Structure 1
Amino acid sequence: MITSIATLRPEECEPVPDAGLGALVTERGNLPLESVDVTAAVSGLIAGVEVVQGFRNPHDVALEATYVFPLPDRAAVTAFKMEADGRVIEGVLKERGQARADYDRALAEGRRAAIAEEDRPDVFTIRVGNIVPGERVTVHLTLNQPLPYEDGAATFRFPLVVAPRYIPGTLLDGEQAGDGWAPDTEAVPDASRITPPVLLPGFPDPVRLSLAVAVDPAGLELREVRSSLHVVREEGDTVRLQPGERLDRDFILRLSFDASTSLALVPDADDGDEGTFALTVVPDPAPATANAKDVVLVLDRSGSMTGWKMVAARRAAARIVDTLTGGDRFAVLSFDGVVEQPEGLGEGLSEASDRNRYRAVEHLARLEARGGTEMLAPLEQAVALLSESGRDRVLVLVTDGQVGNEDQILERIGARLAGVRVHTVGIDRAVNAGFLGRLAGLGSGRCELVESEDRLDEAMEHIHRRIGAPLVTDLSLKADGLDLVPGTVSHLGSIYAGVPLTVLGRYRGASGGALAVHGLDSTGQPWERRVAGARVDGRAMRPIWARARLRALEDRYAAGDHSLEEEIVGVSLRYGVLCRFTAFVAIDSRVVAEGGPGHHVIQPVELPGGWESPVAAAPMMMLSAMAQPPAGAPMAPPGLAAPGAAPKFAASGMGGAPREMAADSLAPRGAMMSPRPAPAAAVPPRELPRAELTEELRRLRAAESLGPADRLRHLQDLGSRLAALAVYLGGHAELEALARDLQTSGDVDALWRRAVEGLEALSRSGGRRPFWKK
């Protein structure tokens, strides 16, 4: 039974009040999304969830509706189905290109169809096509997710809105990948898919939301259930959201109980020869030793951090600085469109003396939110500062994570994080948890999510302990009587105080035996923990492992290893778990709309709670109707759509016909008031000379044995030739970006890899690649 439910203060949990400005309609009728129903069943540290989305066609012609929405970034989506006119159509998981082709063909033939696609680990798109006039269609998603656990509490977090994200880079010409307010760029080639229009505030609830969580402690003693950000009520063992809440912030429950060391062995139901294991090791409550360390703190002060988020970020950053000791060295980098450091500390690492820490805290206290979220440059600078350190190296990023170029960031810095512990502090009520978790995972660190100022102190205590040395490092796993499948065991990382070690993997044969974890403790002495296995019934374990495996492979792909595509698709299809290279598609056999849908609407989403006003979001949004800016410059902020403006059409992207955006939404004026034009070229475009690029690649490889100075000169010369080639071609975003990178100074090995990978991609490209393969 649930013993108690604690809430935040009333002023933090009240639903957003309606301003009573009238019904939310376009000139063609109501918006298509009517309801979102979330039903979760928590059992111990695992949650099974079903999400049901209800669509209705208020128009007099067949409709295709598009909805961009979030899901938990570690959740495994395992089933999809569509219900309409008393019929149930089960979705089939296919390679993404094939699923899209099947969906488009079904629509053209007049049949109902629905498709579910992943655009980010926590951002998904559903399209439902050929909804006939007056008809209601529901789509069902089934998923399983693990609950993160530390310091005696597990967290069930379910995101409810995709926040606006900053889109850097130069515009790409050609067909857009989607129908959002931001055009695609070389840094974010699918920007138009992850930027749905945003509702202007002040309207009655446009979507009916229901959310219920049944809690089963699974034999553990449940001490308390805390709700954050939402008003809930208790009904037996179920926590239910109060009616009238909006889809504008994450839903969060914290469940307090004591976890225990265990090894769960779950044989496959359909294959007795294999199974999945889940190892949990709870560390002893021993303090970590305080070794001298180098710490670089990176603080986001961009426009999306306006309001309480900036206050919380300054407090968090100051707390981190205050925890440093005299033997440490540190640097503070604050960024928006530029990177700044405290006056008097210099450009490198400074001793953490009282005077230097005071200067840093003074600098932090003066920061205000402004500008765009150019995150790549400060992260590269932070990694460079830590690259030559012989001490413990720590990078702490404080941000809301609202950027669209996640893959570009991971590709540029992922391989350089070896030996650096990366901790991320995500501050928002609709935080980009997927990206921050991936970044922390690459750096074997922790990701703390802060949804309110009340949560800040608790989160900073966690980060303080992580910044110190871990309890156990150099971990390895040894099987005793258990046959592990090679290449399936998740990353071990390190063991920190208050944080259980969780390892997932696959095994063959009988469900018996033990696993031993070996490592070195904080004094350098050998450490070992042996855990005997127990066979359990846990059908969710296999898809949760598969999702973790897919995330690891996708992160390696994003970091530049594009040879993994076939393996990613294979794992996804074998284990029935959605990923970025596959899609669920459900197609009805009946023809209901001759000629396909005559109307297309992309559903606008709520402005996230805590974002002070649409103006605060404006720096995030890119003016799609502008001419291409100078190379490397981010696009300018848009104007705001006025309430009651006539709905117009954005450029075609996902299905041929133009898509309508709601009149009462926040989107670039250019996208709302006129079709999006292609960027103008200075001269008629010419074909990319593949043979010349292949020859440049051959010369580059032949010069690999040169000394560092000669290699740098070779790269700079190559950059100048590529820049001239881009001018001759009349502009080419990828070629220009590569040329700029090679004409800068920096790590020669990193620049060399960038040159090889860039030339390989350009020499084999036959035009613009599918956006999900960028």
Structure 2
Amino acid sequence: MKDDFAALNQYLGWLAIGLWLFCFLSLLGFSAAKASTTNHYHEIYQSPEEVTSGSLLLKNKTTYINALRLDNHVNIDVNGIIAAVTVTQRFKNSGSEWAEGVYAFPLPENAAVYAMEMTIGNRTIKGLIKRKEEAKHIYTTAKAAGQQASLLSQDRPNLFTTQVANIAPEETIEVKISYMQSVPYISNQYQLRFPMTITPRYKSAQTTKTDTNFLSSPQTSSLPPLPQRPAPQTPLKVDLTININAGLPLVSLNSSTHKLKINKNDHQYIVQLKNDAVIFDRDLELTWQPQTAFQPQATFFTEEVHNETYGLLMVAPPKMKKNKTPLSKEQIFIIDTSGSMAGSSIVQAKTALQFALRQLNPNDRFNIIAFDSTTRTLFERSQRVSMLSMADAIKFIDDLAANGGTEILPALQAAVTLPLTDVELSQIIFITDGSVGNEVEILQFIHQNLAPRRLFTIGIGSAPNSYFMRKSAEFGRGTFTYVPHMNTVEQRITHLFNQIQNPIASGITVTWPDGQQQTISDLYQGQPLIITKKLESLKSSLVIKAKMGRQPWEQVIPQTQLHQPANGIGKLWARQQIEMLQDEYIQTNNSELPEQITQIALTHQLASRYTSFVAVAEQIVKPAHQQTQSTNISNALPHGNAYQTTGFPQTATTAPWHLLMAFISALLGLLCLCWSTMRKHHEI
């Protein structure tokens, strides 16, 4: 009996060691396999939401595989504060079978997408705007009949997908998307961003039904997601041209994210990327500054569309002097240390936090909350600035490392439940890449629970989720600051603290040229207000009134200066109306709002959460007996992400637990072997 028991122990020991070796070698094999894909055109996805940059995915039952990408063309025309953008990308079905494609691409969250066309061979198919369900039915019917068709849908506010049915073998596809966006004037310079990649979203287990209904498109929400994966870093050829009609001399024109070549002709500037072969692994940011002598405090443009008049107003408040005695404040810093921040992003975030701490005044209070899958708070109650509290903060920051999931909501809950202190202002400064899937749930929490505190967001990394970051700041009555590069940390954080410490324009009212009055949100120092309006007439001057601190402020645009024409204002107005209704839906869950959004989108021919573009070719091209197969191409994760060079998943996974369990199993196995050996020796 003893021999049998010893033999059993020995067997279990060897089994545990074998299990450990299997787990360890499996992880090594997974890492090596993923690393080896960096030299091949292969990447498989379970859902379009896993895509990290614009790419055509060929669908085969439940998976999506990249098709060969040929080249990319981007043309941006900037006139005043409006940018008209056309994105053209050509792809080829490099497989030997017919295929269905899903084209996933990021766009600015404020983009008004008004046109789509698909060119297949020598045939160009223009898209028509329809209700989403109707467009999906038209597309599905055409696909089943063997017709070539395309469907453009908004999957999230800054993520769109195009489905393409019945792509022939070796056939070249051209997708052209057109949109309008406003260019904000921030801290004395215009800032234009063109997204080239998306940080994969962490899907919290707490994601609500509202998030799923509001943010996920019907055709993709049912697909089971897999952990995010890094993609190969194959350079992609892009031909990007930005034409800037400044109308006046510029003091500066540069980019902190890309190297440029610039040609100037009078006040016209043509900007291109210095190298054609680039990796789509970071957003492009372009900034330009007009000569200060010509900077307006308020600018107004108009457009006539179908006998309707639309106006666009941009207000930039005058620069104010700093208060000699700044208001006492509490600042609660929340820093994201999840897996998506690994690499240069966490270094950038820690640098930003350290620099922000140095901006505090002696009479301020502060606290730090770090989060990934769990939440850690530095102090139980915010502490005054002192040598001791600062030393604790520096040690807390130095120990931070990126790992785990992006559980934002518990961190915000920890911040709002901190006891209020005896200060005049209480502010939360949130440092993250915003790579979450439950945006609606978090925005609802901010709207319902944040007061009396205000929320300021800092977007870190080469491709933060700017929709979520901007909306969080708006719901929290604060501002959004984007820090694209380590070299811009001090400049952008200094700008943020100037906003926080300087007086804001409050109690703002606009009297429009048709006599209507409107009260609008507060305005921070150096932060522009861009607002559109549908007008009945232009019969009088436009007047803006506000308070700057305790002083009244007024700006008047005479009636004679109200006729500056600009294209696209009507579509920007419709896009802003849709966004306002979406915000109201998040706050109230009013079931009537989706239909109002749909009607605006249909009237102004815009893609939205409830409308899609669909295009169908009349000719039947795919034989009924042919089956749909797949091919593949490479993709790119955001620049600086540590997972680009490893084979492990992008965000929180169970791999560390597997390693831990394997180690424990091996240890138990060794103990069993030792115990069995000692028993045998004792018996002898």
**Residue equivalent to 1:608:** 638
Give the counterpart of 2:617 among 582, 585, 588: 588
1:682-734 deviation digits (Å, cap 9, x = unpaired): xxxxxxxxxxxxxxxxxxxxxxxxxxxxxxxxxxxxxxxxxxxxxxxxxxxxx
Give the counterpart of 2:111 among 75, 87, 94: 75
How far, CA to CA, are the matches of 2:366 and 2:178 in structure 1?
A: 46
Deviation at 1:427, TM superposition (A): 0.9
Gaps of 5+ in 2: 1-34, 45-57, 59-64, 659-684
**Residue equivalent to 2:260:** 232
Seen in structure 2, the aligned counterparts of structure 1 residues 62 and 456 have a Cα distance that, compared at 3 Å, is same
Give the counterpart of 2:232 among 171, 187, 201: 201
Give the counterpart of 2:142 among 103, 106, 115: 106
Equivalent residue runs for 1:137-148 within 5 Å: 137-148=173-184
1:438-470 deviation digits (Å, cap 9, x = unpaired): 111222322111121101111111111122253
Deviation at 1:224, TM superposition (A): 1.7
Letter in 2 for 1:283: P
**Residue equivalent to 1:767:** none
Contact 2:181 2:572 in 1 (8 A): yes
Seen in structure 2, the aligned counterparts of structure 1 residues 322 and 190 have a Cα distance that, compared at 3 Å, is farther
Residue 228 of structure 1: SS of its match in structure 2?
coil
Give the counterpart of 2:296 among 260, 283, 295: 260
Seen in structure 2, the aligned counterparts of structure 1 residues 141 and 638 have a Cα distance that, compared at 3 Å, is farther
Give the counterpart of 1:278 among 304, 308, 313: 313
Q: Which of structures 1 and 2 has the larger relative contact order (alpha carbons within 8 angstroms, sep 6+)?
A: 2
Seen in structure 2, the aligned counterparts of structure 1 residues 580 and 638 have a Cα distance that, compared at 3 Å, is farther
Letter in 1 for 2:604: Y
1:153-195 deviation digits (Å, cap 9, x = unpaired): 111111111222222117999xx99xxxxxx99xxx9495998
- 1:406 pairs with 2:434: no
Seen in structure 2, the aligned counterparts of structure 1 residues 554 and 20 have a Cα distance that, compared at 3 Å, is closer
Residue 311 of structure 1: SS of its match in structure 2?
helix
Letter in 2 for 1:546: A
Letter in 1 for 2:557: V
**Residue equivalent to 1:308:** 344
**TM-score normalized with structure 2 length:** 0.78
Contact 1:78 1:578 in 2 (8 A): yes
Give the counterpart of 1:155 among 191, 198, 201: 191
Give the counterpart of 2:358 among 322, 326, 349: 322
Q: Does 191-200 or 571-580 show the bigger shift?
A: 191-200
- Indicate the percent of aligned positions where both proteins have the same amino acid: 27
Letter in 1 for 2:232: P
Contact 1:261 1:531 in 2 (8 A): no
How far, CA to CA, are the matches of 1:551 and 1:604 in structure 2?
A: 34
How far, CA to CA, are the matches of 1:209 and 1:52 in structure 2?
A: 10
Residue 437 of structure 2: SS of its match in structure 1?
coil
Gaps of 5+ in 1: 1-17, 178-183, 624-634, 640-774
Deviation at 1:592, TM superposition (A): 1.0
How far, CA to CA, are the matches of 2:627 and 2:508 in structure 1?
A: 56
- 1:598 pairs with 2:628: yes
How far, CA to CA, are the matches of 1:190 and 1:495 in structure 2?
A: 38
Contact 2:228 2:649 in 1 (8 A): no
Contact 1:260 1:282 in 2 (8 A): no
Deviation at 1:112, TM superposition (A): 0.9
**Residue equivalent to 1:571:** 600
How far, CA to CA, are the matches of 2:226 and 2:72 in structure 1?
A: 20
How far, CA to CA, are the matches of 2:466 and 2:477 in structure 1?
A: 16
- 1:24 pairs with 2:17: no
**Residue equivalent to 1:452:** 485
1:253-312 deviation digits (Å, cap 9, x = unpaired): 11122431334241423124x322324243244335622222221111112212222122
Q: Which has the higher helix share?
A: 2
Letter in 1 for 2:596: E
Contact 2:300 2:564 in 1 (8 A): yes
Contact 1:291 1:469 in 2 (8 A): no
Letter in 2 for 1:238: I
Q: Does 539-548 or 332-341 show the bigger shift?
A: 539-548
How far, CA to CA, are the matches of 2:552 and 2:42 in structure 1?
A: 66
**Residue equivalent to 2:523:** 495
State the superposition RMSD in angstroms.
3.3
How far, CA to CA, are the matches of 2:121 and 2:313 in structure 1?
A: 42
Give the counterpart of 1:520 among 547, 551, 562: 547
Letter in 1 for 2:239: S
Letter in 2 for 1:309: S
Residue 571 of structure 1: SS of its match in structure 2?
helix
1:540-579 deviation digits (Å, cap 9, x = unpaired): 2222222222222223323452422111112211222222
Letter in 2 for 1:201: P
Seen in structure 2, the aligned counterparts of structure 1 residues 89 and 516 have a Cα distance that, compared at 3 Å, is same
1:578-599 deviation digits (Å, cap 9, x = unpaired): 2222111111111111348612
**Residue equivalent to 1:369:** 402
- 1:332 pairs with 2:368: yes
- 1:379 pairs with 2:406: no
Deviation at 1:377, TM superposition (A): 0.7
Deviation at 1:601, TM superposition (A): 6.0
Seen in structure 2, the aligned counterparts of structure 1 residues 525 and 285 have a Cα distance that, compared at 3 Å, is closer
Equivalent residue runs for 1:671-690 within 5 Å: none
Deviation at 1:603, TM superposition (A): 6.5
How far, CA to CA, are the matches of 2:185 and 2:225 in structure 1?
A: 29
**Residue equivalent to 1:467:** 500
Q: Does 189-198 or 553-562 show the bigger shift?
A: 189-198
